[in-house]
A = this chain, B = another copy of it.
């Protein structure tokens, strides 16, 4: 069982993979060593044995829990009556530069639930993929996989350092936009996005005249206080989400240096990262939608 495989446990999880046409290489049913009656085998192992046609695999194995633990080794915690499937890592189709204009960058997002949810909503909202910096978690974690409804297995993602991220952004002409909680004095400002030239204004009355502006409750500001240049939202965005969306300095070794990048925030104090991420992706989709009629 080579390195190009991934192990999944639990009947529901495996059935979800079957439904999504993943090829099951091996299926392992966990059962006591010499079970005398079928009552010693319990679900989900029993569910499968009663209805074996639901999961078709290249190879089938029946073994006890100690053997399964030896094979899995890792953080997986199979039960005594478990179903374990070995699947090929599915081929992930990475978008080309032309197909890529809305990317997510995660920094220190290591809760598997948060990762799974962000994978799911990134896909649901039509963003192109996820860049995970060093300190972000494992998308192949079984919990991330369950929460993402197995989307994490096929969703385009990259792991890399802060330096590699710079190169990736540069190569793909993506511009960082940092999600942060807005400072108090910024919360009262409501903003408008001008579609013809991507400029963002603080709302003033004369803007009513324009017919290509869109009001938004998103708050944009310059990361660098001394930079008073006008705000302009580039059409190719890499939205950076950090665990807990902390504001302030992030110039320690592991962090991405982002002092001069533009910031975006929502006026929803203490919201969690996946919800904030979903809202910001949704609202950026809305204001940058190509056709004014949509």
Encode A144-188 as 1/0 by CB contact (under 8 A) with B. 000101010000000000000000000000000000000000000
Return A227 CB to nearest CB of chain B, in Å. 27
> Would you call A18 an interface residue if the criterion is a C-beta within 8 Å of the partner chain's C-beta atoms?
no
State the number of copies, please.
2
Once the chains are docked, how many angstroms separate the CA of A289 from the CA of B217?
A: 10
> Would you call A274 an interface residue if the criterion is a C-beta within 8 Å of the partner chain's C-beta atoms?
yes
Once the chains are docked, how many angstroms separate the CA of A274 from the CA of B279?
A: 11
Q: Among A5-13, A55-63, A113-121, A255-263, which stretch is in contact with chain B? A: A113-121
The reply to whether B278 and A125 contact each other, CB–CB distance below 8 Å, is no
> Would you call A270 an interface residue if the criterion is a C-beta within 8 Å of the partner chain's C-beta atoms?
yes
Return A262 CB to nearest CB of chain B, in Å. 21
Residues of B within 8 Å of A282, CB to CB, are 217, 266, 268, 279, 282-283
Q: Which 4 pairs from chain A and chain B are nearest by CB? A: A124-B268, A124-B271, A275-B278, A121-B275
26 A/B residue pairs, CB under 8 Å, sorted by A: A113-B113, A117-B274, A117-B275, A120-B272, A120-B275, A121-B268, A121-B271, A121-B272, A123-B270, A124-B268, A124-B271, A124-B275, A125-B268, A125-B271, A147-B272, A151-B270, A190-B293, A190-B294, A203-B293, A217-B294, A274-B274, A274-B275, A275-B275, A276-B278, A278-B278, A279-B279
| 5 further A-B pairs in the complex, CB-CB below 8 A; given A151-B270, A190-B293 | A113-B113, A121-B275, A190-B294, A217-B286, A279-B282
